[in-house]
Amino acid sequence: MILTRISQRFNELRAKNEPALIAYVTAGDPLPEMTVDIVNALIRGGADVIELGVPFSDPIADGPVIMRASERALAAGMTVEKVLGVAQQLRATTDVPIVLFTYLNPVMRYGFDKLAARAKQAGIDGFLLTDLSVEEAESFVAAVKAQDLDTVFLVAPTSTDRRLELVAKYCSGFVYVVSRTGVTGEQAQVSAGVKPLVEKLRRFTDLPLGVGFGIANADQAAEVGSVADGVVVGSAFVRAIETTPAAEVLDRIERMARDLKQGAVRGRG
């Protein structure tokens, strides 16, 4: 089996003893033509992996910040096809891994095999579908694997050992560790449950572990970076995109990414 771009990136970072900054933005927010610049700003700031959100009309796992971003992106005419186009444009200038992050229905509608093939062509490296349970994932994982791409699954504080084992079996690229029960959104503190969950999960898998849900500042990134292989930040970037005047957005999120990456690295002492 070939080494995917995601695995390669985590290997490089592991060699440097550096946690990855995994940055999420909703593609098409606030406008489809701004996403390439926004992602490039994140990369300049130090993002190691990009999660590109495909907006969905009924995002049940998302809090108000990403919900509003999805609404803006859909209102601006974002589609799966356009997200593929954004990825293709990005791939022309960067080798940073790109993961499509969305819900199952838009993917199902596009067609698993067709999307996996188009994604490969566009330079996308993997998928994360928040409402696709491992139990229902067989045909999707097969379609993605056939293109040598990764399917990232989530584990949660509620996951039993049996489920951790199951996720470890089907997951590739990295495992997304949900830091707390709840929807996406910034939190004042990193959940105390993160460390034990990460340690437990290591018994089941050698895959890199990225921790997300609620991480918004450098101190939190440091805390997570001390135990995990990656720090996922989403809502904080999306809120910055929402609240910053257009002329300053790119500088702002580049600075945020730099700050978060430095925080994560600091966590390794």
Partner 1 sequence: MLTVPDAQGHFGPYGGRYVPEVLMSPLEELEKAYLALKTDAAFQAELSDLLKNYAGRPTPLYFAKRLSEKLGGGKIYFKREDLLHTGAHKINNALGQALLARKMGKKRIIAETGAGQHGVASATACALLGLQCRVYMGEEDMRRQSPNVFRMRLCGAEVVGVTNGSRTLKDAISEAMRDWVTNVESTYYLLGSALGAHPYPLMVRDFHRCIGDEARAQLLEREGRLPDMALACVGGGSNAIGLFHAFINDPGVKLIGVEAGGKGKKTGEHAARFSGGAPGVLHGAYSYLLQDEDGQVALTHSISAGLDYALIGPEHAHLHDIGRAEYVDCDDATALEAAVELSTMEGLIPAMESSHAVAEAIRRAPATSKDQILLVNLSGRGDKDINIYRENLKELDSDSHQPAF
The catalytic residues are 51, 62
Query: Per CB under 8 A, does 127 bind partner 1?
Result: no
Shortest distance, position 135 Cβ to partner 1, whole Å: 6
Look up residue 44 and give its amino acid. Answer: R
Nearer to partner 1, 46 or 214 (CB): 214
Nearer to partner 1, 81 or 206 (CB): 81
Restricting to residues 61-90, name those near partner 1 by CB under 8 A. Answer: 61, 63, 67, 74, 79-81
Query: Per CB under 8 A, does 20 bind partner 1?
Result: no
Shortest distance, position 189 Cβ to partner 1, whole Å: 16
**Residues 6 or more apart in contact with residue 42 via CB below 8 angstroms:** 23, 25, 50, 237, 253, 254, 257
- Nearest to residue 23, comparing CAs of 130, 117, 97, 121? 97
Q: Which of 108, 113, 147, 255 binds partner 1 (CB under 8 A)?
A: 108
Q: Is 4 helix (H, G, I), strand (E, B) or coil?
A: coil
Q: What does the alpha-carbon distance between residue 128 and residue 126 come to, in Å, rounded to a whole number? A: 7
What tokens were used for 135? Answer: 């139990």
Shortest distance, position 227 Cβ to partner 1, whole Å: 19
Buried residues in 29-59 as b, exposed as e (16+ CB within 10 A)? bbebebbbebbbbbbbbbbbbbbbbbbbeeb
Restricting to residues 154-183, name those near partner 1 by CB under 8 A. Answer: 154-160, 163, 167, 178, 181-183
Restricting to residues 24-63, name those near partner 1 by CB under 8 A. Answer: 56-61, 63
Sign for the pseudo-dihedral over CA of 22, 59, 118, 126: positive
Shortest distance, position 81 Cβ to partner 1, whole Å: 8
DSSP assigned state of 247: G
Question: Under the rule (CB under 8 A), what is the footprint of partner 1?
Answer: 56-61, 63, 67, 74, 79-81, 103-110, 130-133, 135-136, 153-160, 163, 167, 178, 181-183
